[in-house]
Amino acid sequence: MIDEAQIREIIRRVTERVLDRLMAEGLFLPEQNGALVLVSNFIPEPALLNKYLKSRFTTGVTCAALELYTRLDPEFDAVFAARVDEQQRLFSTLKFYEHIVLAMPSMQLLNRIAIGDDSGFTEQLVLRAILMRKKVTVVLDYQPPKFKRGTFFEGVVNSITALKDMGAEIVSLTPVLRSADLVCELVTEDTILRAYLCGDRSIQCTKGTIVTPLAKDKANELGIAIEG
């Protein structure tokens, strides 16, 4: 007897073969304005990453599992690239994505990409995306450290700087402890985004609080109430 998991695997493989043939014949083209998210290891802050991807890439998100995989939001499309044939398929579809996101990579992976070491599949994919002038974003789960000559952090800073020089955008998502009432005297777009990532749905303002126009737009977009 064939169980449900085996049936799903058969359907997946048949679908992949059909799509490969259609793309080879130019009869099917994936969306060109979505984001391909490369998940190359475990994700320290999946909730923060999910919220960031939903708010940043509203035209669609596809998560590519490259190695160890922590599943992200089930609303996202998912592809797997552990086998050679799956990696070849992912390479073939790279040109159809506008945004390429490297999700919370290890520091060693960052360094290999920064020095142009393309011995691994993930490194090849990111470097190829940069050469193809894709909009490449590297999402970190920490704030870049300050320069410390002669320490491990010097290498981290150099890697991040090199990626920026290559044209990649660096985004840091760090968890922030929530307070009972978030009170601000200056509300910017970044204030709204941080409140959203922390799960807050309102920001308390004092008398004379300055709220920037971009902050108002972002608050309306994310459903954050500016009160006071």
Confidence of residue 182 (pLDDT cuts 50, 70, 90): low
Q: Of the given ranges (20-24, 35-39, 171-175, 195-199), which has the lowest mean pLDDT?
A: 20-24
Contact 111, 46 (CB under 8 A): no
Report the pLDDT value the prediction gives residue 18, as an integer from 0 to 100.
65
Q: Is residue 135's pLDDT more than 90?
A: yes
105 or 34: whose pLDDT is higher?
105
HEC secondary structure over 113-155:
HHCCCCCCHHHHHHHHHHHCCCEEEEEECCCCCCCCCCCHHHH
Confidence of residue 196 (pLDDT cuts 50, 70, 90): confident
Region 1-30: mean pLDDT is 65
Q: Is residue 23's pLDDT more than 90?
A: no
Region 134-156: mean pLDDT is 86
Domain residues of the chain, as ranges? 31-172, 183-227
Q: Note the helical H segments in the chain.
A: 4-24, 46-56, 84-93, 107-114, 121-131, 152-165, 189-197, 213-222
Task: Report the alpha-carbon distance of residue 70 to residue 48 in Å, rounded.
Answer: 13
Task: Report the alpha-carbon distance of residue 220 to residue 40 in Å, rounded.
Answer: 34
Report the pLDDT value the prediction gives residue 146, as an integer from 0 to 100.
78
Report the pLDDT value the prediction gives residue 195, as an integer from 0 to 100.
76
Q: Where does 31-172 sit in CATH, by number?
A: 3.40.50.1950
What percent of the chain has a predicted confidence (pLDDT) above 70? 82
Q: Is residue 176's pLDDT more than 50?
A: yes
Q: Of the given ranges (60-64, 127-131, 137-141), which has the lowest mean pLDDT?
A: 60-64
Q: Is 107 exposed, middle or buried (0-12, 13-18, 19+ CB in 10 A)?
A: middle
The letter for the amino acid at 96 is F
